[in-house]
Amino acid sequence: MGNRHPIFTDEHEMLRDSLRRFIATEVAPHADEWEKQGCFPHTELFKRFGELGFLGINLPEKYGGSEAGFVASVVFAEEMGGCNSGGVAASIGLQANIALPYVADNGTEEQKQKYLIPGVKGELIGSLGVTEPGAGSDVASIRTSAVRDGDEYVINGSKMFITNGGIADYVILAAKTDKEAGHSGITLFLVDKGTPGFSVSRELDKLGWRTCNTAELAFEDVRVPRSAMLGEENKGFYSIMAHFQEERLYLAVGSVCGAQKARELASGYAKERVQFGRPIANFQVTRHKIADMATEIEAARQLVYNTIRMYVEQEDCQAEVAMCKLFACEMATRVIDQAIQIFGGYGYMMEYPVQRQWRDARINTIGGGTSEIQREIIGRLLLQ
């Protein structure tokens, strides 16, 4: 609503226009088909995004990126909402905004040549392996271990709910290199697909993000060279926490966009659906629902944009990032639930897209640190 927010420039809007045109013509028209299939042609689509320069928006030019800055990546995250498939947006977004930045920020020159350059081209797909069957938001409690053996590390353990896990060419793996050190004993490794002992245990069947591959990974005496270490030994937790900031902002941005889409769908339906001789948009109860939805969306949007401004200007905004993640993601589930209510029985039918909006949005209060964790972060920071 209103004018363009000050965090965006003319260059950002040019990027937005090109992304919007591409997604509207080459991605969104296939969303229903891909949702039914439970997958999308990832090899072709990743390469197409790479060809157009959309996978390296905030990455160094030296490795094929455009160094357009974090706000440009926010534009990318917003426009990916137009895919009409949360799974496609999550899979591509994981590559562009999470996996590749890990390598760009922590990798050696050799690692950047091996993973970053083909990754920006969409020729090499990455995944991030942090969550485990027994360790989600509590990253420090992971049990996957990496034991030093000469110039190698021997990795044993498993990872759960790994986005792109079954289609990725490599995983950025968090493992304990010092079991007694808690969060100070975690190290990141780059583990290639096909490494002996590394396997996809199973691909997971999910409520939402249906087109996005999500898998459980197993590591049985997987040997990797010391050169596979990403960043410093025992410093992996700090890298994960730093990247969590951006991941949480992306999830908040996506939640605002999903809620906005659902509100637009509900408004359009309310104008057309006739009950008791008039469109349901003419009933005060419906207008008030729409008013509440629009107000919550705008409140979340302004909170998110202001926090992005703080983040870009390097202000201390750890609490605000957690507030964004908490408020925007929970707002989306409330708003989209009300959109389904406006659709009535049709909203519960799989042929209407509003149900997909709800299913795809529901994960956002869980992934990237649950709402409960965000409340804990906010409370701790306010009371310290």
Question: What's the rounded Cα separation, in Å, for the pair 173 and 136?
Answer: 14
Active-site residue 247, yes or no?
A: yes
Q: Which two tokens stand for residue 200?
A: 């996809």
**Of 78, 216, 247, 320, which one is the catalytic site residue?**
247
First to last CA, the chain: 37
Query: DSSP secondary-structure letter at 66?
Result: -
The DSSP annotation for 136-176 comes to SS-GGG---EEEEETTEEEEEEEEEEEETTTT-SEEEEEEE
Between β-strands 126-129 and 170-176, what pairing exists: parallel, antiparallel or unpaired? parallel
Look at phi and psi of residue 234 and say left if phi exceeds 0, alpha if psi is from -120 to 50, else beta: left
Task: Please name the residues in contact with 241: beta carbons below 8 A apart, sequence gap of 6 or more.
Answer: 139
Tokens encoding 128? 């991030």
Query: Do the Cβ atoms of 63 and 117 come closer than 8 Å?
Result: yes
Pairing of strands 278-279, 274-275: antiparallel
Handedness of CA 344, 348, 352, 356 (dihedral sign): positive
Q: How many alpha carbons fall within 13 Å on the CB side of residue 260? A: 17
Structure tokens belonging to residue 378: 């906010």
Catalytic residue numbers, as ranges:
247
